[in-house]
Chain A
Amino acid sequence: MATVFSPYAWLVPAFPFVAFAVLTAFGRSLSRTGAWLATAGTFLSLVLSLVIAIERMTGAAEDYRGGYEWLRIGDFSLPFGFEVTNLAALMLVVVTLVAFLVNLYSLGYMKGDDRISVFFAYVSLFTFSMLGLVLADNLLLLYIFWELVGVCSFLLVGFWYQKPEAKAAAKKAFIVTRIGDIGLLIAILLLFWYMPDHALDFVSLHNVFDPQNGGTISLGITTLIALLIFLGAAGKSGQFPLHVWLPDAMEGPTPISALIHAATMVAAGVFLVVRTFDVFEASQAAMDTVAIIGAFTAIFAATIGLAQNDIKRVLAYSTVSQLGYMMLALGVGSVPGAMFHLFTHAFFKALLFLGAGSVIHAVHTQDIREMGGLGRRMKITAWTFGIGALSLSGIPPLAGFWSKDAILAAALADRPWLFVVGAIAAFFTALYMSRLFFLVFFGKPRGEHGAQAKESPGVMTFPLLVLAALAVVAGFANTPWNGWLGQWLTGNAEADHASALAIVVSVAVGLLGFYIGWLVYVKGAVRRDVLSSRLPGVVRLLERKYYIDELYAWLFVRPLRALGDALTAFDTHVVDGAVRLVGAAANGIGKLNTRLQNGQLQTYGLAGLLALVVLVVAIAGRRFW
């Protein structure tokens, strides 16, 4: 069936880009109108994305490719094009929907900020870049947008640049993801080198790495390329050992944490792996690495999340952990599982972050020890946050349960020990979410602002309600007995991973985790400090995030600083010294000349006489040589 709307897919990123351009040009004079303008731009994108997605769902439309030739170097031609596949259509809907809701929410959250138009300009630029990344039809174009979203993340994390922590966090986010980006760049260069005709578009990648035409590129190179791509994905998606930037990125405004650092940009790493999945499938070693790193990150970040006291940091570690789940799913070969979890996670994690923002807006603190009892004062926030928490904890029949179950079932079918790791991580997830939820919304108000907390305005609660609804129903897109989403995405009926064991275990660990949280933080049946008094070392280790930051500071930052200092010293003393020496020499010669040029005609005459004498002596003396 021919497609009607897919050829216009390039308009989806165009709307936010126009909004960005207008806001950048006239932002100062627009202020609040500009914010509405950005929201309207994103809304248009959302409508178009929905139309495209619905069209592709109802009729089995073919993939659409459009664009034009960007560069031609010899035989190599680089297209500047977009590609609409079912995967891209799904991502378009997720990105535009979350971006639209976050825009709407920010109208309330950022109200009164002096730089509100700058904020919305950045958000629009980010939305444009993210949509471009989703639509890009070749790796190089994807890389450009990949860097653009990184820049936007940097700008928005450091949005409140007056705070030194925000500045440091922005730099950290940029530099750490940079490490991954270098990996991706090298992977692209290797692909350029080894691919037939230097093709970098995804269709050629798919064809070359298809097992049926295997052997075009040797296994070693394939593994290397896959691992380098994964390095890029790990940097963006906060996988161990490059996860350190994501929790610090919470210094940015909360809507940004919801949009960039929970729902969309950090999922770009997962999306990249999905997009280049053929490369990974061609190398078992790469798949193993992805699975193991993903599983390790899932459990590692979940344990840290247990001991954090900053509401946003708990959610940030939860994001890292959930992204680990997605990587785990990819590592065991389940693209539908990963994309499904990405899809549901985008909704419930954006919901949780926006809910956290609503709480922070009300009590002006991020420390959960100073909250409490907010459930009665902020009913909508509490209910929607609760739904998000339950969804994330994997309680049926909410969305998070179905997607997590899909991943666990896939892991069980592929490698049972990864299933065990995933189940333990799911238990921790339920535990830290219940701790967070009960500490914030139950009990007595502990902080100074808690008693006067008010519900946020409608422009902020509306997105919460929409996302809460989605966090409930999104899971039914792909249940064990109806793999519709997976089939739509991959085009073939997925081998059914449904397993009763996986369902039972994932329900059990979720409920158990939540029950323990309830016992500890509501009922008080177990004393809160039971663990910290018995095992202070473990709790400290978790609180300090396994000392990873300290380790990196000692291992990388300090040697690099020392090197930098040495080079600075060389620069200031040797290089600058040479420059200064040249300057001083010219200056000295100039001074000498001013002494000669004293304006006294008689001195000039004397100099002329002396010169004449010298000349005469020289000419006369030549005769005797």
Chain B
Amino acid sequence: MSMLASYLTLAAVLFCIGFYGVLTKRNAIIVLLSIELMLNAVNLNLVAFSKYGVNPALTGQIFSLFTMTVAAAEAAVGIAVLIVLYRSKATVNADEFDELRR
């Protein structure tokens, strides 16, 4: 059980670092990277539970593989959106992206 706790703690720390990055970083690319960090924290949880959980099963690891695939796709789309944004606004500063207000 102690192994599970340390994994979960690590994942929580990782998630918090990612979330902190999402909320505070001005550079949109760093924000995107921070989101990846948060996803990986979740992956870590999934893997940890599949090995040390109450009912250890391979499902969790398979699931984390799926997450990585989807995350790759998401990162591709995210970067593409950012490139388009950069073309239209000539900046990647997240503060400048306030179109929701208008």
Pairwise interchain contact A601-B97, C-beta atoms closer than 8 A:
yes
* A40 to B24 CA separation, bound complex (whole angstroms): 90
A609 within 8 A of B: yes
- Cβ contacts under 8 Å, A598 to chain B: 98, 101
Pairwise interchain contact B23-A606, C-beta atoms closer than 8 A:
yes
B19 to chain A, nearest CB (A): 7
B102 within 8 A of A: yes
* A599 to B22 CA separation, bound complex (whole angstroms): 15
- Cβ contacts under 8 Å, A600 to chain B: 94-95, 98
Pairwise interchain contact A599-B94, C-beta atoms closer than 8 A:
no
Pairwise interchain contact B100-A599, C-beta atoms closer than 8 A:
yes
A162 within 8 A of B: no
- Across the A-B interface, how many residue pairs have beta carbons closer than 8 Å? 26
A600 to chain B, nearest CB (A): 6
A492 within 8 A of B: no
Pairwise interchain contact A599-B101, C-beta atoms closer than 8 A:
yes
* A598 to B98 CA separation, bound complex (whole angstroms): 7
* A267 to B97 CA separation, bound complex (whole angstroms): 83
* A598 to B101 CA separation, bound complex (whole angstroms): 5
- Cβ contacts under 8 Å, A599 to chain B: 97-102
Interface string of B1-29 (1 = CB under 8 A from A): 00000000000000000010011100000
A446 to chain B, nearest CB (A): 80
Pairwise interchain contact B23-A602, C-beta atoms closer than 8 A:
yes
**What 6 new A-B contacts, CB under 8 Å, besides A597-B101, A602-B94?**
A597-B100, A599-B99, A601-B97, A605-B22, A606-B23, A609-B23
B48 to chain A, nearest CB (A): 22
* A115 to B81 CA separation, bound complex (whole angstroms): 72
Count contacts on B: residues with CB < 8 A to the other chain: 13
* A539 to B40 CA separation, bound complex (whole angstroms): 111
Specify the main secondary structure of chain B where it touches its partner: helix
Pairwise interchain contact A602-B24, C-beta atoms closer than 8 A:
yes
Interface string of A593-625 (1 = CB under 8 A from B): 000011111100110010000000000000000
Interface residues of B in 78-102 (CB under 8 A from A): 94-95, 97-102
A-B contacts, 8 listed (Cβ < 8 Å): A599-B98, A600-B94, A600-B98, A601-B94, A602-B23, A602-B24, A602-B94, A605-B23
Pairwise interchain contact A602-B99, C-beta atoms closer than 8 A:
no
* A597 to B95 CA separation, bound complex (whole angstroms): 13
* A599 to B97 CA separation, bound complex (whole angstroms): 8
Most buried by A among B19, B31, B100: B100
Interface residues of A in 551-607 (CB under 8 A from B): 597-602, 605-606
- Cβ contacts under 8 Å, B22 to chain A: 602, 605
* A606 to B101 CA separation, bound complex (whole angstroms): 17
What 6 pairs between A and B have smallest CB-CB spacing?
A599-B101, A599-B98, A599-B100, A602-B23, A605-B23, A606-B23
* A600 to B24 CA separation, bound complex (whole angstroms): 11
Pairwise interchain contact B19-A601, C-beta atoms closer than 8 A:
no
B28 to chain A, nearest CB (A): 10
- Cβ contacts under 8 Å, A597 to chain B: 100-101
A574 to chain B, nearest CB (A): 39
* A606 to B95 CA separation, bound complex (whole angstroms): 14
B39 to chain A, nearest CB (A): 16
A514 to chain B, nearest CB (A): 91
* A600 to B99 CA separation, bound complex (whole angstroms): 8
* A600 to B100 CA separation, bound complex (whole angstroms): 8
* A141 to B22 CA separation, bound complex (whole angstroms): 82
* A598 to B94 CA separation, bound complex (whole angstroms): 13
Pairwise interchain contact A609-B19, C-beta atoms closer than 8 A:
yes
* A172 to B101 CA separation, bound complex (whole angstroms): 59
- Cβ contacts under 8 Å, A609 to chain B: 19, 23
